[in-house]
Amino acid sequence: MAAHSDLSRLSVGQFAERFRADMIPLSGTFSYFCASVPLTEEDVKEYLEEPIAALPPAVAKRLPKISIILVPYLERVNSKDKPGGKDRAGKSSEFISIEKPPENRLSWASQLRVGSDQVLVFALKDQEVAEYHYRFYRLLATLLTDRLEESESAAFAGLLREELAGNVHGEVDEESWHAKQALQRRQSKAMRDTKAFRDYARAAFIDTLTLYLHGICCDIDVETGPRQLPSRFLRRRLKLLYDSFPPPEGYAVFPEDLT
């Protein structure tokens, strides 16, 4: 179903509320509404069914009810551009847009809560499927991070402390890289349980879990570079996630799983 032009200036929250009753169920957890170009059966499979089917059962079971909204474009609007353009937390609001916004206002994904449901909004136009999958799994990883058991958080933090004690360089993605740099600049003993360490541990877990989930679904390559966590330490993290959240039957994570 395509969005009408008079809906193009609705905020993501207004849009989610208006079309809440029109969501199409995909499973007990997921439903969706498409306000972008009409989806073919192949599109539904590629954007929705396949990435959801690849979720580890232990992950899917812990997620809240999730509504996925697919739109043409998302536009960031802050208080300098529009009165009341920021929410109470001071974050930029985002609006549905049919026309492509300026590059400095272009957004690709948004997350909000409507009632007891989590709503994930994705802009589809001019976005590659691989980029959409990455952003999809990143938002799911963020949701799961807030639902970890204490023992799971402690086990991952233990790996990070071992890496810090061994002066292991690099990280999985940009957010954890910057959080690690900030931690090491501020503290001589980076392994202590401080807010800076907890911020770093959260960013590192989200980045690592995003890679893990994305890798189950798709054949992806980890880019090498000076900021990349060495492969043997990355494997240790992925093995920890594998043990806690095994992939669905028939899906591989490590090369040896293919045999």
What are the pLDDT digits (tens) for 56-87? 999 999 999 999 999 999 998 864 444 334 44
- Residue 122 · residue 203 · CB < 8 Å: no
Domain residue limits at 38? 5-128
Average pLDDT, the chain: 87
Lowest average pLDDT, out of 71-75, 80-84, 151-155, 156-160, goes to: 80-84
Residue 87 CA from chain centroid, whole number: 21
Higher pLDDT, 92 or 163: 163
Banded model confidence at residue 6, pLDDT cuts 50, 70, 90: low
Q: How far apart (Å, rounded) are the C-alpha atoms in residues 253 and 239?
A: 9
Q: How far apart (Å, rounded) are the C-alpha atoms in residues 110 and 68?
A: 10
Whether residue 14 has pLDDT greater than 70 = yes
**Res 187: pLDDT:** 66
Residue type, 152: E
SS3 117: strand
Instruction: With respect to residue 191, please indicate whether it lies within any of the assigned structural domains.
Output: yes
Residue type, 158: G
DSSP labels for 63-109?
A: S--EEEEEESEEEEE-TTTSTT-B-TTSPBEEEEESSPPPGGGEE-E
Instruction: With respect to residue 142, please indicate whether it lies within any of the assigned structural domains.
Output: no
Q: Are residues 175 and 81 in the same domain?
A: no
Banded model confidence at residue 53, pLDDT cuts 50, 70, 90: very high
Q: Are residues 124 and 167 in the same domain?
A: no
Centre a 10 Å sphere on the Cβ of residue 120 and count the other Cβ atoms it contains.
22
- Among the three residues 94, 128, 162, which one is the final residue of a domain in this structure? 128
Q: Are residues 166 and 70 in the same domain?
A: no
Q: Are residues 155 and 117 in the same domain?
A: no
101-132, pLDDT tens digit by residue?
898 999 999 999 988 889 999 999 988 999 99
Q: Are residues 211 and 170 in the same domain?
A: yes
Exposed (0-12), middle (13-18) or buried (19+): which is 239, by Cβ within 10 Å?
Answer: middle
Q: Are residues 101 and 201 in the same domain?
A: no
* Residue at token pair 């591989």: 252
Higher pLDDT, 16 or 239: 239
Instruction: With respect to residue 215, please indicate whether it lies within any of the assigned structural domains.
Output: yes
Q: Are residues 111 and 180 in the same domain?
A: no
Q: Are residues 77 and 26 in the same domain?
A: yes
**Res 226: pLDDT:** 79
Q: Are residues 122 and 157 in the same domain?
A: no
Instruction: With respect to residue 144, please indicate whether it lies within any of the assigned structural domains.
Output: no
Tokens of 199: 């911020």
Q: How far apart (Å, rounded) are the C-alpha atoms in residues 106 and 149?
A: 35
b/e 219-232 (16+ beta carbons within 10 angstroms → b):
eeeeeeeebbbeee
Segment 195-214 shows an average pLDDT of 96
**Res 1: pLDDT:** 38
Q: Are residues 100 and 165 in the same domain?
A: no
Banded model confidence at residue 4, pLDDT cuts 50, 70, 90: very low
Q: Are residues 17 and 88 in the same domain?
A: yes
164-177, pLDDT tens digit by residue?
999 999 999 999 99
Across 17-26, 201-210, 226-235, which has the greatest mean pLDDT? Answer: 201-210
Instruction: With respect to residue 83, please indicate whether it lies within any of the assigned structural domains.
Output: yes
- Among the three residues 95, 128, 161, which one is the final residue of a domain in this structure? 128
Instruction: With respect to residue 138, please indicate whether it lies within any of the assigned structural domains.
Output: no
By percentage, how much of the chain surpasses pLDDT 90? Answer: 62
Instruction: With respect to residue 61, please indicate whether it lies within any of the assigned structural domains.
Output: yes
By percentage, how much of the chain surpasses pLDDT 70? Answer: 89
Instruction: With respect to residue 228, please indicate whether it lies within any of the assigned structural domains.
Output: yes
Count how many Cα atoms sit within 13 Å of the Cα of residue 105 in the half-sphere of its side chain. 20
- How many domains is the chain built from? 2
* pTM score of the predicted model: 0.88
Q: Are residues 109 and 190 in the same domain?
A: no
